[in-house]
A and B are shown apart, each in its own frame.
Chain A
Amino acid sequence: METAPSSVSCLPHTAKMSKAKKVLEEAREIRNPELDLFDKGVSTFEEMPGLLNMTNVTRLTLSHNRIRSIPPGLANLTNLEILNLANNQIQELPLSLSSMPKLRILNLSINRLDTLPRGFGAFPVLEILDLTYNNLKEDSLPGNFFMMQTLRALYLGDNDFEKLPPEIKNLKNLEILGLRENDLIELPKEIGELSRLRELHVQGNRLTILPPELGNLDMASNKAEFRFEGNVWVPPILDQLNLGISHLQDYLRSEAYRITYNRYLTNKPPVPPPCVDKAKKISRLR
């Protein structure tokens, strides 16, 4: 492959490539199941020969590369528990990925995903799914997306959601839900059924009111972190937020708020315009 250095511009690329190969060779030699292949200038899996046969691998970290597509054969790595593809250029995922039997942590943040494959929600043991900084919205999600009962953390920040499907309530084990800087207009009341939720990021959306059911969650515990800044809250909510999260929680649980909330529902205020300019997002690049 690397013959005579005919062109100088080719050299850095060749050097990077050999770096990835070197990592693989070393890992094979010492049977290291954790592969650090981040920032290796990799564009395709062809540049990492033999990788898809290394079935002993438990962690594969490919962050900071230029990978555009994932081969279905990646699912051969049946012992893989952690797959990190953060900061690549992935636009599409193979359906096979969700069949990986041991995959617990999947990081697809900072990519270019507009959609997820059908059946994506079939991961048997997925616990942490990071889809931060893509181009996803409610329509991009496959029908079985909220069937991932093992999910502990779902990061959807920096995407294009306007609404969160009420099926979110099916993620019974969810502790962390990231929705920072989407285009959310409202939150479903079903979010109040996520009894284990202790982290909620909804900063930088277009929210005006909160469902009273959110008050069911233990927002004020010292293990909880609920972030609401950067929305267009109605004054009563903004007032409580300024007083502190426990005030907001008490208010959401109050009869007074139930009345206020119902009035807002029947008398819907105009939807605020998107407040985050996402034109410069590199996830938009094609």
Chain B
Amino acid sequence: MNPTDRSPNIPLIGAIKNSRLAQRRASRTEESYVRFEIYDNVPLHIRNNDSPVSQTIPKFQWITNMSRDTMFCSKCGEGFEPQEKIVNSTGQLWHQHCFVCAQCFREFADGVFYEYDGRKYCEHDFHVLFAPCCQRCNTFIIGRVIKAMNASWHADCFRCEMCNLELADTGFIKNGGRALCHECNAKVKARGLGKYVCHKCHAIIDDQPLRFRGEVYHPYHFTCTACGVELDANAREVRNRPGLAKNDTNELYCLRCHDKMGVPICGACRRPIEERVVTALGKHWHVEHFVCAKCEKPFFGHRHYEKKGLAYCETHYHQLFGNLCYSCNQVISGDVFMALNKAWCFHHFACSICDQKMTEKTKFYECDLKPVCKKCYERFPKELRNRLRRQHEASTKRAPTPVE
């Protein structure tokens, strides 16, 4: 499909069957699994019950005082001499010399024998004649036998020839005479083809792989973080925490959503910014659209001042927020002296009558919200001082007004 697909962002439910993922899953059966047999190989009769593989308790006893006239050896069909030892096993009777290994004619050591095709064998001969030998470790297999690759194996000897993973329960793939796990097989195959193996499904990536958090994947395993559409190889990985080596917070976006994020949009005109971008107030701006909130003149790279999410030119910031010095009317660069609803450069705060510098420790009076030093205030006409005092008293009395 064309990556610049203009279809709506929400995928239709009915379309999922046709998705690449669904198709891929359906075609999975093409992969050939080599079937192998597993069966249990255990001694039929063993005397001792100390072996973990024993499953039956032997019924093995010497018969001494029974009527021997009606008893015959299961092997040779002859009767038994009086006092002769008779072997009774699995409901049958034998002469002691008949109850022997069909191969070596010796009695069964410790009474352990194996039965195969109606004959009994000692452990040694049974192993030699019939028991499977592990292809890997060359010893007899007692218990679970894995039949695979035209050989038999102990379950824990049948492993992937590349990564040594046990294959008895996961299955394997024959690759050039080797048994490999799915993952290794895919890797080998991919390497041969100059391709990648998907980190998620371990199958070869036939088309363009998608790189994500340092691994490669089939793109169709992912959907766009923003719009949810199934991704293709054009998807973009977005670093959420730039500067951090760890990339496990990275996210994937389809090309369309990524482009929407990547091309900055002007916070003023809402159009994409093709040329120079100004970034301020947490937004992007066209250079000519980043303007003073008061006079609307662009800053064009001049210093701007931020207040409550708005940007102002120097003049208006200070005009609006009062950080122009009352005396020199310049932006206060150093310490600010705040008093009487006004601001001063620290060294410009002075008595309005004698122009002498005052500090935060100087006692001063207020006349029409201008600072007046004590000496000057005392030289004010007495009647003026009286009026100012009365007024001050009236205004402080007024402050807490009871509401009725």
Q: Which residues on A are within 8 Å of B, measured CB to CB?
A: 34, 36, 38-39, 59, 61, 63-64, 82, 84, 86-87, 104-105, 107, 109-110, 127, 130, 132-133, 152, 155, 157-158, 176, 178, 180-181, 196, 198-199, 201, 203-204, 223-225, 227, 229-230, 242-244, 276, 280-282
Contact = CB atoms under 8 A, between A and B. Distances in A.
Given A34-B355, A180-B368, 6 more contacts: A36-B356, A86-B354, A132-B368, A155-B370, A223-B341, A243-B403
B387 A276 contact: yes
B380 interface: yes
A87 B380 CA distance: 8
B355 A155 contact: no
19 contacts: A36-B355, A39-B379, A61-B354, A64-B376, A82-B355, A84-B355, A86-B352, A105-B327, A107-B352, A110-B384, A155-B370, A157-B368, A180-B368, A203-B391, A229-B395, A229-B398, A230-B394, A244-B401, A276-B387
Contacts of A87: 353, 376, 379-380
A262 B257 CA distance: 61
Contacts of A64: 353-354, 376, 379
Contact of B355 (A61, A109, A132, A224): A61
Instruction: Tell me whether chain A's interface is mostly helix, strand or loop, or mixed.
Output: loop
B319 interface: yes
Contact of B387 (A82, A152, A181, A223): A181
B329 interface: yes
Contacts of B403: 243
Point out which of B319, B341, B354, B368 has the most chain A C-beta atoms below 10 A from its C-beta: B368
Contacts of A104: 329
A110 B380 contact: yes
User: What 7 A-B pairs come out closest when comparing CB atoms?
Assistant: A280-B383, A61-B355, A282-B381, A178-B368, A86-B353, A38-B354, A225-B341
Contacts of A133: 381, 384
Contacts of A244: 401
A246 to B, nearest CB: 13
B322 interface: yes
B341 A199 contact: yes
A110 B387 CA distance: 14
B244 interface: no
Interface in B355-398: 355-356, 367-370, 376, 379-381, 383-384, 387, 391, 394-395, 398
Interface of B: 319, 321-322, 327, 329, 341, 352-356, 367-370, 376, 379-381, 383-384, 387, 391, 394-395, 398, 401, 403
A227 B204 CA distance: 82
Nearest to B381: A282
Contact of B395 (A86, A110, A227): A227
B368 A155 contact: yes
A152 B391 contact: no
A242 B387 contact: no
A124 to B, nearest CB: 15
Contact of B369 (A105, A110, A127, A199): A199
Contact of A281 (B369, B383, B395): B383
Nearest to B397: A229
A84 B395 contact: no
Contacts of B370: 130, 155
B356 A84 contact: no
Nearest to B394: A229
A145 B40 CA distance: 117
B44 to A, nearest CB: 100
Give the interface centre of B321, B322, B329 by most chain A CB atoms within 10 Å. B329
Nearest to B375: A39
A87 B372 CA distance: 12
A84 B354 contact: yes
A201 B388 CA distance: 13
A247 B96 CA distance: 123
B391 A59 contact: no
B379 A223 contact: no
Nearest to A173: B319
Contacts of B321: 223
A59 to B, nearest CB: 6
Nearest to A282: B381
B61 to A, nearest CB: 110
Nearest to B356: A36
Contacts of A38: 353-355
A100 B389 CA distance: 36
Contact of A230 (B329, B368, B383, B391): B391
A229 B398 CA distance: 9
Nearest to B340: A225
B354 A130 contact: no
Contacts of A281: 381, 383-384
A127 B353 contact: no
A84 B368 CA distance: 17
Given A181-B387, A227-B395, A229-B391, A59 B341 contact: no
B381 A110 contact: yes
A160 to B, nearest CB: 15
A244 B403 CA distance: 11
Contacts of A242: 401
Given A87-B379, A281-B383, A127 B352 contact: no
Contact of A127 (B329, B368, B384): B329
A84 B381 contact: no
B368 A201 contact: yes
A63 B368 contact: no
A34 B347 CA distance: 14
A190 to B, nearest CB: 21
Most buried by A among B322, B352, B355, B356: B355
A225 B369 contact: yes
A33 to B, nearest CB: 13
A133 B376 CA distance: 15
